[in-house]
Structure 1
Amino acid sequence: MHQDRARAESFGAVARAYDRARPAYPEALILDLAMRGPRDVLDVGCGTGKAARLLAARGLRVLGVEIDRGMAAVAREHGIDVEVTGFESWDDAGRRFDLITCGQAWHWIDPEAGAAKARRLLRPGGALALFWNLHELDPAVRSALDATYAEHAPDLPAGERHHSGAHVEKYVGGLQRAGFGDVAVRDYSWQRIYRRDEWLDLVATYSNHALLPDERRDALLAAIGGVVDRAGGAVTARYTTNLVLAAAPSG
């Protein structure tokens, strides 16, 4: 996916909606990362600062790197220091970090170049934490939504209509080849109920939805709203936050 730059760099147009609608990350995940005792954190693809703000709230020094100026501007409004560039070409100026995080964004980064650079930027014993929020819906709702996509956006592949299905295992080998030692995969489960407008706000921030022509996107969102209406006006998203935690060697 990192080669699809139109999608990777599409979020600026929906930056404020992204900040409003996208879920944050579970407190248990943030606590696990903070308990490693990092001083300096680099948040790669920080977006509007969803993860960076949670880490900064625990007293950590967080620097964000974000390719989109619109997303970075929102993060700065939340008090996050952000440098605007792609991670692979970012000039680190000799800075090193105890923890590098990347929430909902590593799939937009060249996995081989990104892993090698992250390994170089970490102090001995530091860690790289990659994580994604993925959700499942009730089968009847999922089926009705898939029928809606088939009618209004048949060119969106079935596997890219929803943020669902774990895909973190594919990154493990690349991290090991980059010189990371222990690479662990962890899951955090939680759920959220979305009212109709909240759900439409969320899916409108998906990159492949945002790039649809206006008329097609509006028709798709209206049809999705109809599905939510028929489901009682709300849907329950059962989230799993997948974490890949890769440790740099201690010496």
Structure 2
Amino acid sequence: MESHELHLDRARGTSFGSVAEQYDRYRPEAPDELIDELTAGRPTRVLDVGCGTGKVARTLARRGLAVLGVEADERMADVARGHGVEVEVAPFEAWDDAGRRFDLLTCGDAWHWIDPDAGVAKAARVLATGGTMAWFWNSSQVEEPVASAFARVYEQHAPEIVWVWGPRDTTRSERVPLSGRDAFSPIEEKVYRRERVLTADQWVGLVATSSDHLRLGAERLAALLRVVHGTIESLGGHVRMQHETTALICHRRPASSTG
């Protein structure tokens, strides 16, 4: 299946629920600089699409915003609710908005699980005029010599996984989901960079929450993670990487401008 068709694989898209607590522990927070930008206009009604365990929603709530999450997996939603996030369980495309409108719509590391056409139409429907839509994703590039060591490990134990240690191949549905859509302003792209250093435990905890790893099955995944952990320990016990969050931001145009 091509990367831009991931939304068709619902089983893979909801596989994260099997490791919901681990996902919540190891997945990175959204950059403060991005949250600063999204809250600068003082939105009062926020919708977090594909909210997962509520990591983005909680960050926004700490800024004093009222946030509603929409999440397709009940297990992920339960973790988010445990952190005080209000969540409604449904795929975004099928979610009943009940006429509600929002000033800000966010989607972190989840837009590729949403049907691009239906998702865009729903976003246009629920965003108030002038409202902001921001979808963003994370990727990291591991530094040498760990990157070369990982390449050898994965070639032997999981050759179908190819981007753990290098730049992510951005899916088409993430990068241009609103192309040619008159309901939205032109897309502005912003990239937030920082260095991260993870221990061997933190690294294997993180990668074990990715869908490509979960697809290996419990036995293969456990064997792979043992080798990865040992490899990191043999190279100093940590993984240093350049981490990027790429955000695409646009605004809902007035209905009169959509032609």
1:42 alignment partner AA: L
- Structure 2: 5+ residue runs without aligned partners? 1-5
Question: What is the Cα-based RMSD across aligned positions, in Å?
Answer: 1.6
Match for residue 111 of structure 1 among 116, 119, 138? 116
Are residues 1:218 and 2:222 paired? yes
Matched, 1:244 2:248: yes
State the secondary structure of the residue aligned to 1:139: coil
1:4-27 superposed Cα distances (whole Å, 9 cap, x missing partner): 222101011000000001111111
Q: Is the 8 A contact 2:112 2:174 kept in 1?
A: no
Structure 1 residue runs of 4 or more that deviate by more than 6 Å after TM superposition: none
- Aligned pair partner of 1:134 in 134, 139, 145: 139
- Give the secondary-structure state (helix, strand or coil) at the position aligned to 2:7: coil
- CA 246–30 in structure 1, closer or farther in 2 if over 3 Å, else same: same
Greater CA deviation, 31-40 or 170-179? 170-179
Distance of aligned partners of 1:171 and 1:37 in 2 relative to their CA distance in 1, 3 Å threshold: same
Q: Displacement of 1:109 after TM fit?
A: 0.5
CA shift, 1:171, in A, is 4.5
Structure 1 residues 214 and 144: CA distance shift in structure 2, 3 A: same
Paired residues for 1:194-233 under 5 Å = 194-233=198-237
- Size of the aligned set, in residue pairs, is 249
From 8, 17, 23, the equivalent of 1:12 is: 17
SS of the residue aligned with 1:54? helix
Superposed displacement of residue 146, structure 1: 1.4
Shift of 1:173: 4.3
CA displacement at 1:176 relative to structure 2: 3.5
Question: Identity across aligned pairs (percent)?
Answer: 47
In the superposition, the TM-score normalised over structure 1's length comes to 0.94
What is the Cα deviation at residue 211 of structure 1? 2.3
From the superposition, tell whether residues 29 and 65 of structure 1 become closer, same or farther in structure 2 (CA, over 3 Å): same
Distance 1:63 1:5 in 2: 22
Query: What TM-score do you get using the length of structure 2 for normalisation?
Result: 0.91
What is the CA distance between 1:210 and its match in structure 2? Answer: 1.4
The CA deviation string for residues 108-154 of structure 1, in whole angstroms up to 9 with x for no partner, is 10112111110111100001100111111113211211111110112
Secondary structure of the residue aligned to 2:179 is: helix
In structure 1, C-alpha distance between the alignment counterparts of 2:22 and 2:217, rounded to whole Å = 18
Q: Which runs of 5+ in 1 are unaligned?
A: none
